[in-house]
Structure 1
Amino acid sequence: MPISIIFSFFLMITPTSAHATDLNYFKNTYEESEQDFDRIFKQIKQKNPKSDVLEFQYSQGTIKSYLIPAATPENLLIMISGTHGVEGFTGSAVQRNLLAQLPELKKTSVLMIHGFNLYGFKNKRRVNEHNIDLNRNFIIDRKGFTSDDQAYTGLNSFLNPNEAPSLNLFSRPLFVLRSVANIAQHSMESLRRSILQGQYSVPQGIFYGGAQIEPQAGLIEAVIAEFIGKKYQKIFIVDLHTGYGERGRLHLMSGKSTDANSIELLKIFEKSEIDFADAKNFYAVQGELLHYFINRLKIRSAFNTSGVTFEYGTLDSQKTFGSIESLRRMILENQNFHFPADSKTSTDIQNMFVEMFYPSDPSWRSEVLRQSDEKMKKVFHYLEN
């Protein structure tokens, strides 16, 4: 590739300082996010008429996947928002920000899957309409799968109270005390692992992975059949999430450091940029969407396929008390859904929950866009060279 083209390409995607109009990408409803997505896509299609939309219809509505083809398609970037519904507000903003400043595509086509968990996005819940965490649902081999939920079920009364929640003066201190007692008994590392990896025994509980694969698996197959086929040499998937980690920091999350996917990521990012599942005080996830998608693509074709989770930290949950507060809000939201409190308490709980995954702080939102641009520059470099 001529050096002039390379220079022009990177000039177009080099991050600029955040400004007021950047924050317009952050919407308050799913409908506003979708309308803005359609608006930007129509502008792109005027310049690139081969751009296309796949509409996947199921019980909760229509999930749209937008393809913007390169001039000579050799590689493909896939970006997914809303796997955990309420996290879709940030993910959608990142997608639209990227589309609005998309460079002229030489070799890399772009596929945006918008609002993967439509129910959760619309209703500001993390789970889908069946109380299932979709990022714990995509088990590759269901017949041979068993989950050790013993530690989780032992904590069930703590994690999933069967009464209406309260936000009285003593509720938070009591929760902290119970959490510290559990940490002292089991250790923070074992608690994180047993709770966050996903469970398959308590359908009304948090982090429930479900007894069978959910309809969105059909979306993945439809996307592969309609848009991917055997066209590409390299495919890279970015699944957009919020919640875990240092507030205001974009964490790159992968599986074990020795996995083939993790080794491929080191061609794109520095080792220090990636949180591997086998690192100390970290955890692996069962039924992860990204792993399932990569696996399906490798089965259906011979692509060099890899991917990463973008996780935008909100409550410093990598620290003990940030982790406790994150867990408290998760429990309260789920508890309130199944055993509703009075109107004011319910509203306060939902507001706390949304703020955990979609902070209203303008500086946090600006940092999300700035750091996303910074990381995506490296992804495009990997795909274009």
Structure 2
Amino acid sequence: MVMVPACFSESYAEARPKFCEAAAAAGGVLGSWFNPNGRGPGGERLFLDTARFGPMDAEKMLVLIAGTHGVEGHCGSGAEIAWLRDGGPAKLPADTGALLIHALNPHGFAWTRRVTEDNVDLNRNFVDHDKAYPANDGYRALADAILPAAWDEASRTETERVFQAFTQKHGAFGLQGAISGGQYSHPDGIFFGGRKPTWSNRTVRAIARQDLSRARHVAVIDFHTGLGPFGHGELICAVPPGARSFDRARAWYGDEMTSPEGGTSTSAIVVGIMTDAFSQELPDAEVTPIAIEYGTYSVPEVLNAVRADNWLHQRGDLGSALGRALKADMKERFFPAGDKWREMVWARAEQTIGWAVKGLAAG
């Protein structure tokens, strides 16, 4: 029986060798992709690592992704390692392979940030950068309150006043959508989608072409944290309800699946999500993507941690007492301490992976 808490790591520097060792022990073919754009807080080099299992020409592939939002990599890494240590690869059907992507955003994982080295939210970066970016007038109206000049009681009070006024006019979900739906106007802000494809964007597309080009049925599970009840893993399908992949996901996951566009998810509707890359790069495959979103703390607490972390990197001092406190809070909001939450993560991950493999088997 796998010792679940031991599968999770307190840092990227701990998680990477743990993942590689577990993948090698399970018989995986490992690949490493070096991110040349900086190092971790301990001077460590940063890598996106992959592990592939099963026949190289497998028509059915399970894809598990950790660290799209860097700090959320603690969760995804732990789930991947638990699956490996629990003998997951050996339990796959003979015609089914698996690809594990570890630390898709290694910079964010290492630095306890959601964003990349470009301050880009990867789940807003997969838009067509040759076209006009989606407008977000709500974010423009809130930008100064989201990133204040100082991080003190006065600025927090003013931000709360602005947010409350916006909520009175547009509703609580309207506020969440304006802030977190994605924006392309403020590079120093939060949920910024970028002005070009990031290193992680380009790399995951290359990985999809390299490792999944022979597949005809691909199940993608992307691990996230921050929204919803503590420890609950919401299965979010972010494709439009009219898409074929939406119907497949509904058939696989049933009423457990939620939809932002259908109004049943804790997530706002977002644009440019990372899992779009798989259907774009694998036009001959049936791609069925979902995200598992594990709840941690309340939306205001999580959002405040994201804003504080952004302020710290834009205008604060990482080495100060305030900087250390904000970093500790950021980690806790996306990776709660204690064994119970981690055990809940694995229980839901194991269940969901089982559904995905069953769905792939059904063809």
Q: Scaled by the length of structure 1, what TM-score is found?
A: 0.84
Shift of 1:323: 2.2
Native 8 Å contact 1:254 1:277 kept in 2:
no
Native 8 Å contact 2:47 2:103 kept in 1:
no
* 2:359 is aligned with 1:382: yes
Deviation per residue, 1:351-375 (Å, 9 max, x gap):
1111111110321111111111111
1:308–1:222: structure 2 CA closer, same or farther, 3 Å change rule? same
* Cross-structure match for 2:255: 271
* Cross-structure match for 2:102: 114
1:99–1:155: structure 2 CA closer, same or farther, 3 Å change rule? same
The amino acid of 1:137's aligned partner reads: N
The amino acid of 1:250's aligned partner reads: G
Instruction: Determine helix, strand or coil for the equivalent of 1:110.
Output: strand
* Cross-structure match for 1:66: 51
* 2:201 is aligned with 1:224: no
Out of 141, 144, 151, which is 1:157 matched to? Answer: 144
Deviation per residue, 1:143-186 (Å, 9 max, x gap):
223321222111111111123x13x5x77666545432321133
Shift of 1:379: 1.0
Rounded to whole Å, the distance in 2 between the matches of 1:181 and 1:86 is 31
Native 8 Å contact 2:122 2:201 kept in 1:
no
Instruction: Determine helix, strand or coil for the equivalent of 1:130.
Output: coil
User: Which is further off, 176-185 or 126-135?
Assistant: 176-185
Shift of 1:130: 1.1
* Cross-structure match for 1:81: 66
Native 8 Å contact 2:224 2:294 kept in 1:
yes
1:12-161 mapped onto 2 (5 Å cutoff): 21-45=3-27, 51-60=28-37, 61-70=46-55, 73-101=58-86, 102=88, 103-105=90-92, 106-139=94-127, 141-161=128-148
Shift of 1:91: 0.5
Deviation per residue, 1:177-235 (Å, 9 max, x gap):
54323211332122222211110010000111101111223322332343222x22211
The amino acid of 2:119's aligned partner reads: N
**What percentage of residue pairs aligned between the two structures are identical?**
24
* Cross-structure match for 1:11: none
* 2:198 is aligned with 1:211: no
Unaligned runs of 5+ in 1: 1-15, 46-50, 316-321
Native 8 Å contact 1:251 1:275 kept in 2:
no
The amino acid of 2:14's aligned partner reads: E
Rounded to whole Å, the distance in 1 between the matches of 2:133 and 2:16 is 38
The amino acid of 1:119's aligned partner reads: H
1:269–1:23: structure 2 CA closer, same or farther, 3 Å change rule? same
1:31–1:282: structure 2 CA closer, same or farther, 3 Å change rule? closer
* Cross-structure match for 1:329: 305
* Cross-structure match for 2:237: 254
Native 8 Å contact 1:189 1:282 kept in 2:
no
Rounded to whole Å, the distance in 1 between the matches of 2:287 and 2:360 is 11
1:267-306 mapped onto 2 (5 Å cutoff): 267-279=251-263, 282-298=267-283, 302-306=284-288
Rounded to whole Å, the distance in 2 between the matches of 1:53 and 1:42 is 7
Rounded to whole Å, the distance in 2 between the matches of 1:329 and 1:125 is 10
The amino acid of 1:130's aligned partner reads: D
Shift of 1:72: 7.7
Deviation per residue, 1:254-310 (Å, 9 max, x gap):
123333221110120113432343316752111100122222212xxx111111011
* 2:222 is aligned with 1:239: yes
Native 8 Å contact 2:118 2:198 kept in 1:
no
1:123–1:100: structure 2 CA closer, same or farther, 3 Å change rule? same
Native 8 Å contact 1:71 1:107 kept in 2:
no
Instruction: Determine helix, strand or coil for the equivalent of 1:244.
Output: strand
The amino acid of 2:303's aligned partner reads: L
1:226–1:295: structure 2 CA closer, same or farther, 3 Å change rule? closer
Out of 336, 341, 345, which is 1:359 matched to? Answer: 336
The amino acid of 2:313's aligned partner reads: F
Native 8 Å contact 1:80 1:238 kept in 2:
yes
Native 8 Å contact 1:75 1:233 kept in 2:
yes
Native 8 Å contact 2:301 2:333 kept in 1:
no
Rounded to whole Å, the distance in 2 between the matches of 1:218 and 1:173 is 40
1:71–1:227: structure 2 CA closer, same or farther, 3 Å change rule? closer
Rounded to whole Å, the distance in 1 between the matches of 2:130 and 2:144 is 29
Instruction: Determine helix, strand or coil for the equivalent of 2:228.
Output: coil
Instruction: Determine helix, strand or coil for the equivalent of 1:381.
Output: helix
Native 8 Å contact 2:205 2:277 kept in 1:
no
The amino acid of 1:249's aligned partner reads: H
